[in-house]
Structure 1
C-alpha cells in the first residue's frame, strides 16, 4: 500500500455528489475531509479484511473495490461493488466490532479513510453528528431488506435489472445527487456472485435485457440504454 497523503480541499464538491455526504451539515463534511487520508491501492490489494479491527470510515475516490468474503471451503460471496463516491465501513464505527467483510481493490484505487480515533474525538465534541453515521447505516440496512425481499419475489432478470439500476445511481436511489452512470464496469462474474447465481445465468439474463433494448453489452462494461424502462421492469 502506498504512503497515505492528505486529500486536496478541492475534493469536497465531488464528495457532495453522494446523497449521504451531501445531506450532512457543512461542518461535518469539512471535519471528515480534514481528518482523512488518501490510501492508494493496487489491483487485488485489500483495504481491510474480515475480522480486522476497524481503521475508520471509508469512501472510494477513484477506481473500484468489492466487499465480500472468501470462506473456509474456498467459496466466495460478494455483497457490493463500490465506486466513487460511495461511503462504507460505518458498521464497525457504530458497534466497535471487527470488520464483517473484506474490501479489496478491483483496479488501482484511491480510498479516503477517516481514522476512527480522530472521528470519535469529533463525535465526542459534536454528539449530534452521530445521527449522520446512523443514517448511513440505516440506508444500507434498508437496501439489505430490499435485496432479501427481491430474492423471494423477483425472477433473476428483474433482480439483475434492479441491481444495475441501483449501481448506476450509486445505491442512492432515494435521493440521487449526481446524474446516473450509463457505463457499468462490473464483471459478469461479480454480478453473479452478488445475485447468488451462476455466471451463465447472468449472461443469459443480460442477453435478454439487451434484446429488449434496455442495455448494450460492451467489452469490459455494460451500457445502460434506457434507465426508466429498466426501472419499470423491476417496479412492475
Structure 2
C-alpha cells in the first residue's frame, strides 16, 4: 500500500517488515461516527488510517469525553499488550467516512515469527505517539489563542482541507466557539483560509504559519 510509505514510522522499517505488516492487516470501511476501538479495550494492535479522519477521545469520567486529536492519513496509531503494554488508552472513531488497516495483536505475533524486529518497531511507534502528545500539551500551554487555532488547522489538515467543525476546533484549542469563530473570521479576512459548511480550506499555509509565530 503506497500510502503507508508516507508514514515516517512505516518508511523507516525494513522492506521485509513493511510487506509483512501490510499483508497482516485487514482493511475496514467506517461510517462517520463508527468506533474503531474504545478506551479500556483489551484487544490492542495497530490502526493505519488510509482515508478519512479519526477522532481521538479520552473519558475523564463517566459523564465526559474529551476530544484530544484528529488523525489524518497517513497516521498509524496503536499499541500492543504482548510486550508489557496495557489496554487501549483512547477511544478512536471515524470523524468522516474512513478506511483503516487494522493489525491486531495476533497478526503482530504472526509477523514476529518471521520478523522479530516488529516489537522494536511497535515500541518506536508508541514512543513517537507519546512524544507527539507531549509536544501538543506544550504548545497549548505556551501559545496564545490565535496561534492555537492556526496550529491546530495546519496539524489536522489533509492537504488543503481541514474537515472540522467549530465545536471540535474549540475543544481542541481549549477556547470557546465564539473565540474560535472570531479568529477564523480574521484568518479569512487575511486571505489565509476560507470557511465552508464542512470545514476550513487552507488558502495560504505560510500565512497561517506566520500567525503561529
Match of 2:124 in 1: 135
Deviation, structure 1 residue 120: 2.7
Partner Cα distance (2:11, 2:26) in 1: 19
> Residue 108 of structure 1 aligns with which residue?
97
User: Deviations along 1:100-137, whole A, 9 cap, x unmatched?
Assistant: 11111223222110121121342354333333223322
Question: Secondary structure in 2 aligned to 1:89?
Answer: strand
Q: Secondary structure at the match of 1:189?
A: helix
Aligned to 1:126: 115
Aligned counterpart, 2:13: 24
Q: Which runs of 5+ in 1 are unaligned?
A: 1-11, 169-179
Partner of 2:71: 82
Alpha-carbon separation, structure 2, partners of 1:190 and 1:139: 24
SS of match in other structure, 2:6: coil
The aligned length equals: 213
| Aligned mate of 2:154, from 165, 173, 177 | 165
TM-score by length of 1: 0.81
CA-to-aligned-CA distance 1:179-234 (integer Å, 9 cap, x gap): x6111111221111222222222212211222222211122121111112222322
Tell me how far apart the structure 2 counterparts of residues 71 and 51 of structure 1 sit (CA, whole Å). Answer: 12
1:97 maps to which residue? 86
The equivalent of 2:201 in structure 1 is: 223
TM-score by length of 2: 0.88
CA 96–145 in structure 1, closer or farther in 2 if over 3 Å, else same: closer
3-state SS of the aligned residue for 2:120?
Answer: helix
Write the distance in 2 (CA, Å) between the matches of 1:55 and 1:73.
22
- Alignment counterpart, residue 54 of structure 1, candidates 43, 56, 60: 43
Partner of 2:30: 41
The residue number in structure 1 matching 2:173 is 195
Deviates more, 1:67-76 or 1:97-106: 67-76
Aligned match of 2:160 in 165, 173, 182? 182
Q: Match of 1:3?
A: none
**Rounded Cα–Cα distance in structure 2 between residues aligned with 1:226 and 1:115:** 40
Deviation string for 1:116-159 (max 9, x for gaps)?
11213423543333332233223222222222222222101101
Q: Provide the secondary structure at the position in 2 that maps to 1:60.
A: strand
Counterpart of 1:206 in structure 2 is 184
